[in-house]
Structure 1
Amino acid sequence: MTSGLQHKWMGVKTLLILCMIVCTQASFGQNDTSSTSKIQSIFDDFMDYRHQNKVDKALQTLDEAANIAESNEDAKLLLDIYHQYARLFLEEGDRETALFYWDRANILLRDISYSFGQAFHLYLEAALRFDEGNNFQSLKLLEESRKLSNNRNLGNNILLLEAYIYTNITNYENAIKNLNALIVNSDDKERAYLATKANLQLAKISVILNDLDEGIIHAKATLELAEKYGFAKEVKNAYEQLSGIYEKTGRYDESLFYTKKLERIKDSIFNIEKAKLDLVTADKIRFEHQMTELNKLQAKNEELSESKNRSEITAILTSAFLTIISLLAVSLFRNNQIKLKTNDLLYTKNKELELARDAAVSAMEAKTNFLSTVTHELRTPLYAVTGLTHLLLEENPSEHQKEHLKSLKFSGEYLLNFINDILQINKIDADKLEPLSIEFKLNKVLTDVVDSLQQNANENKTKLILDYDPNIPQQLLGDPIKLSQIFMNLVGNALKFAKNGKVEVIAKMLRKEEDQVKLYFEVRDNGIGISDEQQKHIFDSFEQGSIQINREYGGTGLGLTIVKSLLGLFGSTIHLESELGHGSSFFFEMDLKCDSKALDELSFELHPEEFDFSGLHVLVVEDNKINQVITKKMLNKKEISCDIANNGNEAIDLAKTNTYDAILMDIHMPGISGEEATRQIRKFNQDIPIIALTAISLDDSLESFYQAGCNDVVTKPFKPEVFYQKIGENIFKSKIQGPIGSI
Structure 2
Amino acid sequence: MPTQIRYFIIKILLICCFFSYSQTSEFEENIQIKDSIDNYLLNAYRSIDQAQLKQALFNISLAKEIAMDDQDRSYQAKTSLVLAKLYSQLGDLKKAEEQVLDAIKIQKEDNDKVMLTCSYALYGSIATQTKDYKTAEDVLKKALAFTKNNHNEDEEGFINLNLGILSLEQGQPEIAIQYFNKGLPKITSLNQFYNKAKLYINKAKAQLSLEQYDEAKESNDLSMQIGKKMGYAVIRSECYKLYSDIYDKKEDYLTSLQNLRTHQKIKDSLFNTNKEIIVQEAGAKLNLNENNVLIEELTEENIQQQKSLKLGRLTTILSIALITILSLLTLSLYKNNNLRARANELLQNKNTELILAKENAERASEAKVQFLSTITHELRTPLYAVTGLTHLLLEESPTPNQKEHLNSLKFSGEYLLSLINNILDLNKLEANKVEIENTSFNLKKRINDVLIALGKSANDRNNKLHYEFDESIPSKLKGDPLKISQILINLIGNSIKFTQKGDIWIRVKPISKSENKVLLNFEIEDNGVGISEKKQQSIFENFTQGSVQINRKFGGTGLGLSIVKNLLSLMNSEIKLESKLGKGSKFLFNLEFEIFEDKSPNYAEEAKRIDYNILIDKRILVVEDNKINQLITRKILEKNKIKCDVADNGDIAVNKVKENTFDLILMDIHMPGISGIEATKQIREFNKEIPIIALTAVTLDDNLDEFYDNGFNDIIPKPYKTEEFFTKLHKAFVKNQTTA
TM over 0.5: no
Radius of gyration: which is bigger?
2
Question: Which TM-score band applies after superposition, normalised by the shorter structure?
Answer: 0.3 to 0.5
**TM-score, normalised via structure 2 length:** 0.42
For CA contacts below 8 A with separation 6 or more, give which structure has more relative contact order. 1
TM-score computed with the length of structure 1 as normaliser:
0.42
